[in-house]
Each structure stands twice: as structure tokens, then as C-alpha cells.
Amino acid sequence: MAESHSPQLDRLISGYRRFRETGWTPRRERWTTLGEGQEPEVMVIACSDSRVDPAQIFDVDPGEMFVVRNVAAMVPPFETTPGRHGVSAALEFAVQVLKVKEIVVMGHGMCGGCKAALTQELQGAEPGEGGFIADWIAMLDEAREPVAAQYGIHGRAAERAMELAGVKVSLANLRTFPCIRRKERDGELRLRGAFFAISDGVLHVLDEDSGEFHSVA
């Protein structure tokens, strides 16, 4: 008797079969090399949002980027309190073991996490027992105040300002990690801020000297 799959899993399996035909088989040499290890030079911290896949946006091959995705592309500050610090563990591995040369924090337009941090409402969401979302986006509380003061808490201009502010918060938190701070000081690591606008598909890169994001032609 054939195994019954859901429509959702069927779509994934169809995609897997296309991948085997067009992605795996024609590039067996590449996959053989990756089977021996990985040497990505770039780490990307991006949002979990299904619309902003870094591999698609940057059009890279497997093995070129070490990627961490979470709600609102956030990096918590360095801390050694008990807990399961997933982002911190990934950072430590990327920086200390893989020795990446660049870390890119990429925010994006229409980010639900940033909007929730701005309005302090989880619209349309049923809170879970752990309060995990509210606790996570509380990292943006300080950034919220100047944004709300200038733009209010509703409307696209306010949301965009919050999304850009979130990237800067994560960059600041990255620099609380001793290993990152040391490597950046010694010229072994560069930190970058980026923003992908879903509305027009344009990538913006942060100029930290001016604090402005500039579109990439």
C-alpha cells in the first residue's frame, strides 16, 4: 500500500526530485567536496520569514554561506547565564571554528517581528505558553522609543524605521562578543548591515559611518 502524504509534503518531495535532477546530479563534484567539510567565508543572520531566503537573494551555491535565521534577524547580546543560546553557539562556531571573514545582518521589509516590537502587539497570534516571541522581540525595546517618537507606531514609515533599527541593534550586540570584537579590531572580521525590501526586491547596505542604508544598483 502506498504511503499517504499531505499536499504540503508532496510539494516538498516534488521539489526534492527537481533538486536531485537539476541541483545534485549535475554538480556531483561540488557535493563530493562539501562532503569533506565546509569553508564558508560569510555568515548571514536573517529573518525566519518565508519570503526572504538569503540563498535565493544572494544566488549562492551550497557551502558559500553559513546562515542563521530567527525572528527579526536578531542577535542577543553576549551573556553566559544558563540557557540554550542558539544564536550565540552558531556565532561562536562560525567565528572561532569556520573563521568566517564577514558577518552580514540582513533585515527585511514587512517584518512581523519588528512590527510587533513597534506596536507591542502580536496581532493575529495566539500566545504560546512560553511567551517566547514577546521575550525575544523585547531586545528591540530601546530602539522602539526613538522610532515611535519620530514616526509613531503605525504606518509603513514607522515599520521601515523599526526594521532598519533592528539591524543596528543586532550589529551592536554582535560587538558585545569578545571574540568578534577582537577579530574586528585586528582586521580579521567585518560586520555588515543589510536590508532587503520585499516590496521592490532591492537590497540596501548600511554605511555605518553615516548610519544610512544605501540601495545596491
- What stretches in the chain show pLDDT beneath 70? 1-3, 123-127
57-75: b or e for each residue (b if 16 or more CB lie within 10 Å)?
bbeeeeebbbbbbbbbbbb
Over residues 15-37, the pLDDT tens digits come to 999 999 999 999 899 999 999 99
Would you call 164 helix, strand, or coil by DSSP?
Answer: helix
pTM, whole model, 2 decimals? 0.93
Give me the domains of the chain, ranges plus CATH numbers.
1-37 (no CATH), 38-215 (3.40.1050.10)
Over residues 160-190, the pLDDT tens digits come to 999 999 999 999 999 999 999 999 999 999 9
